[in-house]
Structure 1
Amino acid sequence: MPLAFCGSENNSAAYKVNNGVLNNGCFVDALNVVPHVFLLFITFPILFIGWGSQSSKVHIHHSTWLHFPGHNLRWILTFILLFVLVCEIAEGIVSDGVSESHHLHLYMPPGMAFLAAITSIVYYHNIETSNFPKLLIALFFYWTLAFITKTIKFVKFYDNGVGPLQLRFCLTGFLVILYGMLLVVEINVIRVRRYVFFKKTKEVKPPEDLQDLGVRFLQPFVNLLSKGTYWWMNTFIKTAHKKPIDLKAIGKLPIAMRAMTNYMRLNKAFEAQKVRHVSSTL
């Protein structure tokens, strides 16, 4: 079976744009590849420099966590995005199976989008650990381009009679919503952190607990995936397998989890409740 991006049957009629460029479904699919190639092209050198060079000014290898606004929402949306993209890849492969020739445009764009989504969250995690938000501008442009190109595809589906009864229409609609929400999250980071488009940026230092080398319990500070899997405890678990652990190896608890902090909170709540009870009895 011949292999071609737009298929090779009907003398390559899929490459014709007599009815307008955007009315050619194959061209629209090719257009949807552009944002993902852009992100991969921009982020891979930054990640490579950050991980491979100890003299890098970016310091992506730094091992502290500083959550940007919308941290958990971004991770949740990315997980959903990956699931929807897998569904779109599967739908494209099934649709390609009934064609006379291979149509790469049915599953290559969502495949590239899947790689770009994984790259985006890895890139975001490293920018977050390095506390260098200016590099997030690449994600802002990526979500913008992805939202625009996917919206064009969704509109053209509607114009050509592809409706809600077809899976590809529903998947494209979901992707428009997800890319739009991720774009909103990125805009909110810019609004709060003011790292671009503002004269005065907002500098944020890592939490005090992370600056204390004696604190080993990092659950409140790691990303959502690491929180759910306790991935951050791998080093501790490996050490415990090799030799017995002691209090020094366990380290100190974060300030928010110490007995004195919890006592002060409980005492404050108790005093407030006592005052409220006295005032209600008078």
Structure 2
Amino acid sequence: MAVSDTWEWYCGVNSTDIEDSQSLTKENVLGSPCLVDGLDTLAHLVFVICALLLLLVFKCTHYNNGDTKFLLRFPGHELRCIFLIASLILLAGSIGEGILTDATYDSPTQPHLYLPQCGAILGTIAAMACYQHMEMWLQAGYILWVVLLYWICAFTTQTVRLLNLQYLDLGSVEIARFDFTLALMVVYGVLILLDINAIRSKVCHCCQAPEDQEAASDMKLKNMRYIRRFANLLSELTFWWLNWLPILGYKRPIVVEDLGKIPHRHQAREIHEKFKIAYQKEKARAEKTGSQPSLWRVYRHVHGVNMLISYSLKLTADTLSYVGPLALDPIVQYVTRIVYGNEEVGYW
């Protein structure tokens, strides 16, 4: 059986590219989109299998700390979750692009146009499971090396695909596959940097942040049920970690003892100390300049970062309210042209 016949189910009409690319020269590899997609799919599937085996081994051995309600977040947890979700969205769009591209051909189907992205979605989900269990088990940070290697392989395969598109004169921002590939390269690059930083902190224990010690002391508090900092980003945004409170309130009236203790950073003593230090600095500044101390400067010093984030999110939410009308205008114009011909009738 010829090589092209073996790969026909995957490559379709491009199966002959595999046979022509066996010399693995630069021109043959870059000129064979099916070969590039095949290597991409293989990398994702290998990682999925390795990740499942590693999680199973850690689950069945003494390396994990058992089930716990706490997650000791790795550095960059929130940013990592955002880019993981962004990668899933991009991969879903890329699958749609591959299916639509395949539908434009009269020849037999070409699964290589969308199967690599399906494998990438499985790999991303497996990586998310690894992060979740590493943060839950607290001492399984060495799995980070495997995840980091996966992101490097994913970045490499996307780079090869980008070169393949350019070799085939498809390297234009007007082509959706090129845009998806470029965006995924950016996402994978950020994930690589985040994992390197996590390995520096959690595996090599180099330059650990003071928040790690504070989090460790919070986890030792008895009846500490305010675990917002020890939940994943989705649980934090949806308040899923607080589900126990309405469930308990549904069963019986809630009393103060049910609320338990709160983390050190939210205790009145800690907040008072921060304001005291900030006010002393502001008072010293005012004495040097001969002005009155500014309470606004004190608030900005203590809660400036959180205030800036809140203002930015509010501005973003208000700006996105214009997306609906702007998106509706071309839809109305398109439907109008279909129904009434070339008559230009816009939403505005």
Provide TM-score, normalisation by structure 2.
0.72
Partner of 2:130: 123
Q: Which moved more, 1:139-148 or 1:59-68?
A: 59-68
User: Is 1:177 paired with 2:179?
Assistant: no
Structure 2 SS opposite 1:115 = helix
Whole-angstrom CA distance in 1 between matches of 2:180 and 2:68: 38
Aligned counterpart for 2:109 among listed residues 99, 102, 105: 102
1:109 maps to amino acid: P
Whole-angstrom CA distance in 2 between matches of 1:134 and 1:49: 13
Partner of 1:85: 91
Whole-angstrom CA distance in 2 between matches of 1:263 and 1:201: 28
Structure 2 SS opposite 1:188 = helix
User: Is 1:17 paired with 2:20?
Assistant: yes
Provide TM-score, normalisation by structure 1.
0.87
Partner of 1:142: 150
Give the structure with higher Rg (CA). Answer: 2
Aligned counterpart for 1:221 among listed residues 226, 230, 234: 230
Structure 2 SS opposite 1:102 = coil
Whole-angstrom CA distance in 2 between matches of 1:89 and 1:21: 23
Whole-angstrom CA distance in 1 between matches of 2:117 and 2:100: 14
User: Is 1:238 paired with 2:247?
Assistant: yes
1:279 maps to amino acid: K
Structure 2 SS opposite 1:16 = helix
Q: CA deviation at 1:237?
A: 2.7
Aligned counterpart for 2:63 among listed residues 57, 69, 79: 57
Deviation per residue, 1:226-276 (Å, 9 max, x gap):
111112112333222222222222111111111121122222222222232
Whole-angstrom CA distance in 1 between matches of 2:218 and 2:17: 59
Aligned counterpart for 1:4 among listed residues 6, 9, 14: 9
Deviation per residue, 1:61-87 (Å, 9 max, x gap):
333221222222211111111111011
Whole-angstrom CA distance in 2 between matches of 1:264 and 1:187: 34
Q: Which sections of structure 1, spanning at least 5 residues, go unmatched? A: none
Whole-angstrom CA distance in 2 between matches of 1:60 and 1:44: 17
Compare relative contact order (CA 8 Å, sep 6+) and give the higher one, 1 or 2: 1
Q: CA deviation at 1:60?
A: 5.7
Aligned counterpart for 1:154 among listed residues 155, 158, 162: 162
Whole-angstrom CA distance in 2 between matches of 1:270 and 1:202: 28
1:85 maps to amino acid: L
Instruction: State the identity as a percent.
Output: 28
RMSD over aligned CA atoms reads 2.5
Q: Which moved more, 1:269-278 or 1:247-256?
A: 269-278
Whole-angstrom CA distance in 1 between matches of 2:65 and 2:108: 48
CA contact (8 A) 2:142 2:203 kept: no
Whole-angstrom CA distance in 2 between matches of 1:266 and 1:13: 71
Q: CA deviation at 1:131?
A: 1.7
Q: CA deviation at 1:162?
A: 0.5
Structure 1 SS opposite 2:243 = helix
Aligned counterpart for 1:260 among listed residues 265, 269, 275: 269
Q: CA deviation at 1:217?
A: 0.6
Q: CA deviation at 1:27?
A: 0.9
Structure 1 SS opposite 2:69 = coil
Whole-angstrom CA distance in 2 between matches of 1:116 and 1:60: 24
2:9 maps to amino acid: A
Whole-angstrom CA distance in 2 between matches of 1:157 and 1:241: 58
User: Is 1:277 paired with 2:286?
Assistant: yes
2:113 maps to amino acid: L
1:5 maps to amino acid: Y
Q: Which moved more, 1:166-175 or 1:67-76?
A: 67-76
Whole-angstrom CA distance in 1 between matches of 2:44 and 2:177: 19
Deviation per residue, 1:94-118 (Å, 9 max, x gap):
1111222121111111011012112
Whole-angstrom CA distance in 2 between matches of 1:254 and 1:28: 50
CA contact (8 A) 2:225 2:261 kept: yes
